[in-house]
């Protein structure tokens, strides 16, 4: 499940990247909506947001690009978006405009559980997934309540801290996700720090999805200065490498379905 930043370096490249990743066999893509104060994003993704915002990109432009490309993809798109953007646009309007563009759901990392009822109710009514995050420091009773208020899938943050490529993931990650799996029917997808085939082999047996962001976004940094075909090929080759590791992993949990 790749993550890319919308409009980095521009929306034409965003459309090309979505098509490339879909053609390589990715199952879902997170599209980051650029924001000046990103939550939990490391330097690679923060820099990509800065580059995108320098283009004066607007939400309407992003959704128009997504709407033009989603019929060609064969994979769902969900937005990673700050609640302030959703709120400023209008909660119901955001959901409806996103759906109109072919978006399937939203990850809202700065939306507290205690303040999620309004958006969750709109998403449920509109059949639009609200994907919320559980972190290693989330108390277990709160993690269960977050799962109960989420739809589509549950985003499990693998590490304490910010996004970014890592050589090693926490020793207790598999056990923590296994515990949560027993308490929700939602698919559980793991993100933060995943960038290598060995990460895929470690986590695939316990996860329904693996989210890869910084490793792809780092390659996008050069799309403004190198031939775009080369950058797209490198992004696709990374996707191929990780998908191959996924296919080679024995005893992978069958994906759950959930909305």
Cα→Cα distances 2→17, 129, 142, 144, 169, Å:
10, 18, 27, 26, 18
110 is catalytic: no
Is 258 domain-assigned?
no
Secondary structure (3-state) at 212: strand
pLDDT at 36: 86
Number of domains forming the structure of the chain: 1
Q: What is the pTM of this model?
A: 0.89
Q: Does residue 174 fall inside a structural domain?
A: yes
pLDDT at 253: 46
Inter-residue contact 171 to 142 (CB < 8 Å): no
Q: Is pLDDT at 16 greater than 70 in this prediction?
A: yes
What average pLDDT does the segment 138-165 reach? 82
Cα 199 from Cα 178, distance rounded (Å) = 16
Q: Judge whether 227 lies within some domain.
A: yes
Measure the CA–CA gap between 165 and 30, rounded to whole angstroms.
Answer: 17
% pLDDT > 70, the chain: 89
Residue 259 resides in a domain: no
Strands 29-32 and 105-107: unpaired
Residue 105 lies in a domain: yes
Write the pLDDT tens digit of every residue in 86-138.
999 999 999 999 999 999 999 999 999 999 999 999 999 999 999 999 988 89
Q: What gap in Å lies between CA 76 and CA 104, rounded to an integer?
A: 6
**Residue 40 DSSP class:** S
Return d(Cα 249, Cα 14) in angstroms, integer: 30
| Joined tokens for residue 256 | 């759950």
User: Quick one: pLDDT band at residue 37, thresholds 50, 70, 90?
Assistant: confident
CATH number of the CATH domain containing 224: 3.20.20.70
Range of the domain at 190: 3-248
- 193-206: per-residue pLDDT in tens? 788 898 888 888 88
* DSSP letter (8 states) at residue 177: H
Average pLDDT, the chain: 88
Given 8, 20, 30, 208, the catalytic residue: 30
pLDDT for the residue numbered 155: 94
Position 162 in a domain = yes
Question: What pLDDT score does 45 carry?
Answer: 87
Domain membership of residue 181 (yes or no) is yes
DSSP string, 64-92: HHHHHHGGGTSS-EEEE--HHHHHHH-HH
Q: Is 107 helix (H, G, I), strand (E, B) or coil?
A: strand
Catalytic residue among 41, 115, 208, 230: 41
30 is catalytic: yes
* Type and span of the H or E element at 157: strand 154-157
């Amino acid at each position: 499940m790749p993550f890319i930043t919308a409009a980095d370096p521009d929306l034409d490249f965003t459309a090309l990247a979505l098509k490339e990743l879909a053609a390589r066999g990715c199952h879902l893509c997170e599209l980051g909506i650029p924001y000046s104060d990103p939550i939990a994003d490391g330097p690679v993704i923060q820099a990509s947001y800065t580059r995108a915002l320098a283009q004066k990109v607007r939400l309407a432009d992003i959704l128009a690009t997504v709407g033009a490309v989603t019929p060609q993809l064969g994979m769902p798109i969900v937005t990673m978006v700050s609640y302030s953007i959703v709120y400023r646009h209008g909660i119901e309007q955001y959901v409806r405009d996103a759906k109109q563009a072919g978006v399937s759901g939203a990850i809202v990392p700065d939306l507290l559980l205690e303040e999620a009822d309004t958006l969750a109710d709109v998403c449920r009514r509109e059949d639009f997934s609200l994907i919320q995050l559980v972190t290693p420091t989330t108390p277990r009773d709160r993690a269960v309540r977050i799962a109960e208020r989420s739809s589509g899938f549950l985003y499990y943050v693998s590490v304490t801290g910010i996004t970014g490529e890592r050589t090693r993931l926490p020793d207790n990650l598999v056990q923590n996700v296994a515990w949560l799996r027993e308490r929700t029917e939602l698919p559980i997808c793991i993100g933060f720090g995943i960038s290598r085939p060995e990460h895929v082999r470690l986590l695939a047996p316990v996860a329904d999805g693996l989210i890869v962001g910084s490793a792809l976004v780092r390659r996008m940094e050069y799309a403004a200065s190198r031939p775009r075909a080369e950058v797209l090929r490198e992004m696709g080759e990374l996707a191929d490498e990780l998908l191959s590791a996924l296919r080679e992993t024995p005893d992978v949990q069958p994906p759950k379905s959930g909305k």
